[in-house]
Structure 1
Amino acid sequence: MNGMTPGWRAARWKHAGVALFTAMAMLACAGHEDAAAPQASDADTIAFVDVDVLPMDRDAVLSAQTVLVRDGRIVSMGPSADVDVPTGAQRIDGRGKVLMPGLAEMHGHVPGGDDPQYVEDVLFLYIANGVTFVRNMAGNESHLALRDRLAQGELDGPTMVAASPWLGARDEAEINATLQAHHAAGYDLAKLGSVPADLYPGMARTAHALGIPFAGHIPEGVALETALDARQASIDHFDRYVEFLVPGDAAARSRSAGFFGSGWVDAVDAARIPEAVQRTIDAGTWNVPTLSLVEHLASPETAADMIAWPEMRYMPQSVLDGWVRAKGEFGAREDFQPAAAQRLVEVRRQLLKALHDRGAPIALGSDAPQFFNVPGFSIHHEMRMMVAAGMTPYEVLATGTTAPARYMQTPGEFGVVAPGARADLVLLDADPRQDIGHFKAQAGVMVRGRWWPADRIRARLETIAARRAETAADG
């Protein structure tokens, strides 16, 4: 790929998670008879019986399967006639349903530790929507312990990657010291922020030397090609792509580039897209598009209508007020008037399709909770937008399943339904390949082997909504 270990720090991930995965996969795949016929009575086993499986390692549904889960892993899978369900196992009727891997939110945010209840609520909102893995891009020192508690099953929530706090510095010594401190603390990656352009190359060299990936924004004044040459692990929000697509002699360069290039978008030369795509492929850099970040602000739908979406009742009133205010402020910006905003949406969709068609690495992410993106729920909006950009539902689902596992350099560890993989699963009422909206119709979610049926999910969501309503009334 790009010579780095994106996301999870290599030693901890590979020696802990992958060692367990490898051992269990060897046991599960040693022979069909051994894998498909557990002999012992096991009350800790969960069996999805007679379910159609979308394994995501191929574009196909396997009919009438039985999938056995134990100790947080898939231990067996095969035609129901060939798989013996252990005595005492919990049986989940899968008839007429589709079992597939949970999704990854590769640019999500989890609150800091000031309000533990809000943290727990946000983590559950991800689970409630079939999001079983989050690359958390809002660094806070509390996230290190939170990441480990989640991995150990002490707290309900998705498996989490912990980015560092926003990386900003005034000089090279401060950048080096900050990166060294983040690496020593155990952050999985450095979240790029306001690094001065002249210090970016040195920052990249230090990060590579330490073995800590850097990802997120491309700092102001740093060109797309500079970030690609530096082997930035991921570029989020298609940062700096619009600027690259504007020719060097364009009059637009005399004014501010604006919000993700909105100030220059009228001067974009689409003929430059193939070069941007090829440079991205050559660098091995991932993109996390977060289409919804721009499309919600550019939408002609009013803030009042958007804030009435059903999922908004799970968010604090202060967050909702901030989103309404932001939409109004962006609508008043000279560089974000309707024509420019819609052109920016079109260019970003065109860029996504071009990158995908050439095989550039893309991972699903919505930047929740930003601009009407309620954690978990926003993934559904994001996937719908990706389909509107020209990707098939299966291709979109792959960006949230097998692609994140490749990003983590642990293919097969998660993002697939296969023996040995982590049991992060979603049981659906219909095949999402036929309509991406079917991913919303969930009969239940499994996170690291813990089963959350739809009725329990609804009950806890109602508790969260009631808490928000009570807080709003008191406020």
Structure 2
Amino acid sequence: MRWWHGLAATSLLLAGAAQAQTTPDAGAAGTFAFVDVDVLPMDRDVRLSSQTVVVRDGRIAAIGPRDDIDVPDDATRIDGAGRVLMPGLAEFHGHVPGGDDPVYVQDTLDLYLANGVTLVRNMSGDVSHPELRARIEHGEVNGPTMVVASPWLRSRDADEAVREVRAHHAAGFDLVKIGSIPADAYPRMAETAHAVGIPFAGHIPEGVPLDVALDAKQASIDHFDRYVEFLVPPGTETGDRDAGWFGSGWVQWADRGRIDEAVARTRAAGTWNVPTLTLVEHMASPETPEAMLQWPEMRYMPASERERWRRAKHEYAARDTFQPDAAQALVTLRRELLKALHDGGAPIVLGSDAPQFFNVPGFSIHREMAMMQAAGLTPYEVLVTGTRNAAQALGTPDAFGTVEVGRRADLVLLAGDPREDLSHAQAPLGVMARGHWWPRDALAARLAEIAERHAE
């Protein structure tokens, strides 16, 4: 489905005519040249001044000093003077709706794009997603590149888990999303996934310890699942108290002296962590849900989703295991854990779990990055988790995530250097995904259309 139709198309055409530089229609592909632009290659911490970057057929074809690179005659020139070009960001724990509401699906994809997200690892998939992934890749649908997880694995026993893993692999999903399966089904599920060659990632099922998941080579652990339980020393008397939401019920017994062991085990396993700090911090925040729903980006979400988030925050606040002191202790511990894992060489990749709990697709990535910086990572280190680390986590380090010749042209054009201030990564001046270019005017018009549809 193309979104530059009706009134939106008129707005885009008028905006395009008013621009001083020549820009293509939104989502157009072809040959482009970013001229006189500063480049953050993200393979190292450096800013290359006054570069020309040529993109052809969806790939970066040439990079070099402005005067050393010839701009092809057929290229669309994009003025980069005073601007910064860097790789697009990855949302490594995002969600895209199923195919029963194509308008909402397209809205979600466009919200990601408008915020510089050029790849979404869609966790908890739908049967429609492999086809959607292909249509995006073929340019039939506008959106970030999709990595599609299977539907949430809810097997009742090991035999069913084996059948479902094989079925998801045959259906073309990129990975199995681990959900709620019996603990005794986990080993055979993992064995089968390794045998057929499909990664498994997401949650760690209840009753499966962190070290068991690490030994099984789970591809990623999302939300720091089971880390709090690991930090509680064996033999600790917890009574009948449930571990609660991501360990919030046991956080008072967590022993920070065990963090080094958790880091060492994670690094040795090669398992990636997707922290999704926003998921917990939004729920733990003393800010009322009514106040949070006044955030500017909330205008882009359906009223039904906003109401669901409002109720959820009130319901979590009423839980015995998620009272204010425990909630804030969990936030503090998770930030310390992120810093320790990162500094200890355990791999981290950026993800916010949008759209969940006040996380609006695309916008929540920038809130997540700010929280990661507050946890002690530098802006550059945060940006690495959302660019080259994403490519490495997928086992394709040479495919994207850096600005280098031959890489897929997933790029964002910014007004300032986000290594100096992460807020410069917000509201990009233009976004390129797989060589398709969306100038800011097109993105802004699309955001306005989405907001108007959800206005009350």
TM category (shorter chain) comes to: over 0.9
CA distance in structure 1 between the aligned counterparts of 2:226 and 2:140, rounded to whole angstroms:
40
- Residue 387 (structure 2) pairs with residue 382 (structure 1): no
Counterpart code for 1:417 = V
CA distance in structure 2 between the aligned counterparts of 1:167 and 1:138, rounded to whole angstroms:
8
CA distance in structure 1 between the aligned counterparts of 2:275 and 2:37, rounded to whole angstroms:
33
Percent identical among aligned pairs is 68
TM-score, scaled relative to structure 2: 0.93
1:101–1:425: 8 Å Cα contact kept in structure 2?
yes
CA distance in structure 2 between the aligned counterparts of 1:198 and 1:331, rounded to whole angstroms:
32
1:430–1:441: 8 Å Cα contact kept in structure 2?
no
Structure 1: stretches of 5+ with no match in the other structure = 1-42
The alpha-carbon distance between structure 1 residues 85 and 115, as it changes in their structure 2 partners (threshold 3 A), is same
2:88–2:116: 8 Å Cα contact kept in structure 1?
yes
CA distance in structure 2 between the aligned counterparts of 1:212 and 1:84, rounded to whole angstroms:
43
User: Which residue does 1:70 correspond to in 2?
Assistant: 56
CA distance in structure 1 between the aligned counterparts of 2:72 and 2:85, rounded to whole angstroms:
20
- Residue 204 (structure 2) pairs with residue 204 (structure 1): no
User: Which residue does 1:322 correspond to in 2?
Assistant: 308
- Residue 87 (structure 2) pairs with residue 101 (structure 1): yes
- Residue 160 (structure 2) pairs with residue 169 (structure 1): no
CA distance in structure 2 between the aligned counterparts of 1:175 and 1:413, rounded to whole angstroms:
32
- Deviation of the 1:300 alpha carbon: 1.1
Secondary structure of the residue aligned to 1:397 is: helix
CA distance in structure 2 between the aligned counterparts of 1:460 and 1:139, rounded to whole angstroms:
25
Residues 26-45 of structure 1: pairs in structure 2 closer than 5 A:
44-45=30-31
2:161–2:189: 8 Å Cα contact kept in structure 1?
yes
- What's the Cα RMSD here? 1.0
- Residue 195 (structure 2) pairs with residue 213 (structure 1): no
2:30–2:435: 8 Å Cα contact kept in structure 1?
no
- Deviation of the 1:410 alpha carbon: 1.2
Residues 456-475 of structure 1: pairs in structure 2 closer than 5 A:
456-469=442-455, 472=456
User: Which residue does 2:274 correspond to in 1?
Assistant: 288
- Deviation of the 1:168 alpha carbon: 1.3
The partner residue of 1:185 within 171, 195, 198 is 171
CA distance in structure 1 between the aligned counterparts of 2:30 and 2:279, rounded to whole angstroms:
42
User: Which residue does 2:359 correspond to in 1?
Assistant: 373
User: Which residue does 2:324 correspond to in 1?
Assistant: 338
CA distance in structure 2 between the aligned counterparts of 1:253 and 1:86, rounded to whole angstroms:
71
User: Which residue does 1:21 correspond to in 2?
Assistant: none
1:111–1:138: 8 Å Cα contact kept in structure 2?
no
The alpha-carbon distance between structure 1 residues 253 and 417, as it changes in their structure 2 partners (threshold 3 A), is farther
Structure 2: stretches of 5+ with no match in the other structure = 1-28
1:253–1:264: 8 Å Cα contact kept in structure 2?
no
Counterpart code for 1:205 = E
User: Which residue does 1:429 correspond to in 2?
Assistant: 415
- Residue 289 (structure 2) pairs with residue 303 (structure 1): yes
- Residue 231 (structure 2) pairs with residue 245 (structure 1): yes
Secondary structure of the residue aligned to 1:287 is: strand
Secondary structure of the residue aligned to 2:228 is: helix
The alpha-carbon distance between structure 1 residues 65 and 253, as it changes in their structure 2 partners (threshold 3 A), is farther
- Deviation of the 1:112 alpha carbon: 0.3
TM-score, scaled relative to structure 1: 0.89
Counterpart code for 1:381 = R
2:119–2:145: 8 Å Cα contact kept in structure 1?
yes
The partner residue of 1:349 within 335, 351, 358 is 335
CA distance in structure 1 between the aligned counterparts of 2:450 and 2:329, rounded to whole angstroms:
38
Any idea what the Cα deviations from partners look like across 1:250-302, whole Å, max 9, x if unmatched? 23354100010000001111000000000101111110000000000001111
- Deviation of the 1:212 alpha carbon: 1.1
CA distance in structure 2 between the aligned counterparts of 1:173 and 1:405, rounded to whole angstroms:
33
CA distance in structure 2 between the aligned counterparts of 1:200 and 1:194, rounded to whole angstroms:
10
Residues 416-455 of structure 1: pairs in structure 2 closer than 5 A:
416-455=402-441
The alpha-carbon distance between structure 1 residues 447 and 124, as it changes in their structure 2 partners (threshold 3 A), is same
1:49–1:67: 8 Å Cα contact kept in structure 2?
yes
1:291–1:366: 8 Å Cα contact kept in structure 2?
yes
Any idea what the Cα deviations from partners look like across 1:299-345, whole Å, max 9, x if unmatched? 11111111011111111111000000011011111111111000000
Counterpart code for 2:67 = A
Aligned residues: 428
The partner residue of 1:114 within 93, 100, 118 is 100
- Deviation of the 1:45 alpha carbon: 1.8
- Deviation of the 1:170 alpha carbon: 1.5
User: Which residue does 1:26 correspond to in 2?
Assistant: none
Any idea what the Cα deviations from partners look like across 1:370-413, whole Å, max 9, x if unmatched? 00000000000000000000000000000000001011111121
Secondary structure of the residue aligned to 2:113 is: helix
Secondary structure of the residue aligned to 1:138 is: coil
CA distance in structure 1 between the aligned counterparts of 2:157 and 2:94, rounded to whole angstroms:
29
Secondary structure of the residue aligned to 2:381 is: helix
CA distance in structure 2 between the aligned counterparts of 1:410 and 1:176, rounded to whole angstroms:
27
Range that drifts further, 406-415 or 315-324:
406-415
